[in-house]
Chains A and B, each alone.
Chain A
Amino acid sequence: MEILLQLILSGVALGMIYAVVAFGYQSTFATSGTLNFGQGEALMLGAMFGLTLAGDVMGGPYLNYWLMIPAVLIFGALQGMVVEAVGVRPAIKTKSEFGWIMSTIALGIIFRNVAENIWGKDDMPFPSPISSTPLHIFGASVLPMELMVDVGALLMMILVELFNRKTIYGKAVVATASDRDAAGLMGINTRMVITFSYALSSMSAAFAGVLIAPITLTGASMGAVLGLKAFAVAIIGGLNSGMGIIVGGIMLGIAETTTGFYLSTGYKDVPGLVLLLLVLAIKPSGLFGKTAIKKV
């Protein structure tokens, strides 16, 4: 029983890491129907930038840990705007159906290369203000850092949700998400909303990077695997459901840890991907996704 609890707690922690990354996919998909396949790299850049400010690489630390977070948020937002302006806007403008796929992947590779040249290719430890002594819950151990990921991720999603529901700008985002053309006719600057959603998406990725870096180690290649797993989570949960992403993330995380223990550690990535295949076969819009009717 203790073991199952431990596996579940570790799985939840792992799943929430996937969920925060997956959250970024959702915010751009909702407004523009496009995804930033460089999401993993946005996360890596955020973590690297944070490490430069608050870690002891490159002659730092320059900033206190808590002051570093807003700086990383701004950095992330700017990075997202660059991706949108360079990679996505031209594709949307020319109605190029899949142009944004290649250009966001290309930008991701460019970012990774730049990062490798600035920070090197090695994995580095990330400072954390929180103690790394594990807490014990009914005999299972959790790291305070893992709890911080859970709390940080939920907080971030709640804030975005409140923003969408309560503010006029948020309503513009929701309107654009539900029908871009109609929103445009109603006087909403949909182009700006899309830029904003990219800024928000990369901002959340950068935040996620700082949040998870103490657990995952920081390095130029940290985003690659996470970006992919998070994409699977976004598909499982549904690309237009915040709730779905949390549930999807937790499902994948627990699937990985429990299969690792009960079946074999050699097969731990399999059930998550089988789940992905099942969802795609049975409910392609995701477990919590709304089916969009597309007229052809």
Chain B
Amino acid sequence: MIKPRWIKPVIGASLVALTLSAQAADTIKIGVSGPLSGGSSPMGISMRDGVKLAADEINKAGGILGRKIELIERDDEAKNERGVQVTQDLINREHVVATLGFINTGVALASQRFYQQAKIPVIDNVATGSIITQQFLPPKYPKNYIFRIAASDKIQSHMIVDEAVVKRKFTKVAILADSTNYGQLGRQDLEKALAAKGMKPVAEEKFNIKDTDMTAQLLRAKEAGAQAILTYGIGPELAQIANGMAKLGWKVPMIGSWTLSMANYIDNAGKNGEGARMPQTFIQEPNTPKRKEFINAYIKAYHPAHDRIPSPVSAAQGYDSMYVLAAAIKQAGSADSSKIQQALENLNTKVNGVVTTYDHPFTSTNHEAIDVKDTVMGEVKDGFVVYAYENDKKGH
């Protein structure tokens, strides 16, 4: 059999083309894990959309190390067991190099151990439970793979107590917390923060998800002489607390964790919810060019109702987490998970995010990127969250 003369170059060329296309298709896979359905979905969806926005921008600018980012999104439904399944899937089947996400403290605590075992870094960009980054500390574990870009409950509880006790001089406060992991861990942090000021709450009350009647809790707080209510819960029940207070004709300030900024609190409490204050890392206010650009891009891409980002904090932290991760991958020079972890702990480039500028955000002993100084007090006003203190608006 006589081979035609052209066959060799053709085979050669097609082989080259094949390897080239294989290389172009070789994306950097990054997991995105959060509740895209259920009561926490406004946070999960905002976070995902923030991450997507950043990934699109990075890809348009040529990707990282000449490769495109590919986001693998998974819905953990805010359920612990679902979070574990999603985690296994992202690690073992999708082979992600890192994961961004976790909205719910409980889901994060249940799922993170698998990333730790697989030596894949996770940047928590919403979940706030204080122990999230403390699960796998050296020296017990050689390296901690869990990072966070969100204001931990430790920071938040201190800010809440500071607002109530130092700034507004209340001497008697009540704690109202829901019965979930989130609420009860937050309640402990609040107690500790109060104890540091030599105070004890005059009442500590619990409520369940979907509770509609808060009369008993509020009456107990009122009878104990509370001058303010410190809350740890999520939107719908927090709205019931505000509505319950209006019903009893007993109006004291509500100061609580960042969830008081959830749209389902603001909408369901209406005018009863005005004035509530909560720590925020990001407020939808275009007070810097970077923020203006981010807010406009978000609204243009996702068209949220009333041009209000469902959960601005989640969107901003999601957006920033993607950029911080991208910088780490670039510095690592490869998509190798443990090299990314090393790069995260020693990030040489400054990352200019919307929440803050990340200058060496993590070290081997500190995995919290957000500090007290990156967090401001927000206040519900006319259906939006605004800066509670005018000074923060300029300085933050």
Contacts and interface: CB of A to CB of B under 8 A. Distances in A.
A122 B247 contact: no
Contacts of A217: 212, 236, 239-240, 268
Nearest to A262: B216
A109 interface: no
Given A143-B247, A266-B179, A123 B235 contact: yes
A122 B216 contact: no
B373 to A, nearest CB: 33
B42 interface: yes
Interface string A112-140: 00001000011111000000101010000
Contacts of A52: none
A79 to B, nearest CB: 22
Interface string B231-253: 00001100110000011110000
A223 to B, nearest CB: 10
Given A122-B39, A122-B42, A260 B268 contact: no
Given A122-B264, A125-B268, A265-B207, A257 B41 contact: no
A244 B205 CA distance: 32
B39 A3 contact: no
B223 interface: yes
Given A143-B247, A217-B236, A217-B239, A125 B216 contact: no
B239 A265 contact: no
Contacts of B220: 260-261, 265
B39 A124 contact: no
B169 to A, nearest CB: 27
A260 B267 CA distance: 27
Interface residues of A, number: 38
A7 interface: yes
A268 interface: yes
Contact of A6 (B39, B206, B208, B248): B248
B253 to A, nearest CB: 19
B213 A14 contact: yes
A209 to B, nearest CB: 13
Given A141-B247, A143-B247, A217-B239, A124 B216 contact: no
B179 A121 contact: no
Interface of B: 37-39, 41-42, 179, 205-208, 210, 212-213, 215-217, 219-220, 223, 235-236, 239-240, 246-249, 263-264, 267-268, 270
Q: Which 8 A-B pairs have the closest CB atoms?
A: A260-B216, A10-B215, A261-B216, A265-B205, A123-B236, A266-B206, A216-B212, A225-B210
